[in-house]
Amino acid sequence: MVDSLAPLTDLERAFLEALESRGVRFLVVGMSAALIQGVRGATEDIDLWFERLSDPAIAAAAGAVGGFFVTRTQPPLIGGVGDRFDVVTTMDGLPSFDSEYGRAIDVDLGIHVKVLPLDRILVSKRAANREKDRIPIEQIERTIRLLAALSDDDE
């Protein structure tokens, strides 16, 4: 199902690897996480939710690949590592990062990343109640039903 998200560039992959090698805990969330799991749709960015924005290893990872990390902007900014990464500071309708990290699924994008599961993305999108999420909510619901039906067929 990874084909649903445009492949990572070498620089994007290097940044994620730099985060991982420094022990930075993060989740891929939002529509990019939904696409990775097979939802049909589109997004222009890859949303990253970090455990602690104050973790100096985030800036170190960005610097290791020629980028930078600025926390004094709202939302914080990852620059110089492509233009698709967005930093998410909270997820509507969801408890803490730690709680969601424990529910995350591991996905191989050429590098292993933790991704927010579809049911949790759905909870957040419903809670945000944004007009732009109306169609994605339907697509996520449809995909959840399809995956459940496929799982039932396998049993």
Residue boundaries of the structural domains of the chain? 2-154
Tell me what pLDDT residue 114 has: 97
Residue in the block written with tokens 């420094």: 22
Q: Is the pLDDT score of 87 beyond 70?
A: yes
Q: Provide the token pair at 120.
A: 């949790």
Tell me what pLDDT residue 2 has: 39
CB distance 30 to 39 below 8 Å: no
Q: Is the pLDDT score of 18 beyond 60?
A: yes
- % of the chain with per-residue pLDDT over 90: 82
Q: Is the pLDDT score of 4 beyond 60?
A: no
The CATH fold of domain 2-154: Beta Polymerase; domain 2 (3.30.460)
pLDDT tens per residue, range 102-126: 999 999 988 899 999 999 999 999 9
Tell me what pLDDT residue 44 has: 87
The upper half-sphere exposure of residue 25, i.e. CA atoms within 13 Å in the direction of its Cβ, equals 10
CA pair distance 33, 121, nearest whole angstrom: 8
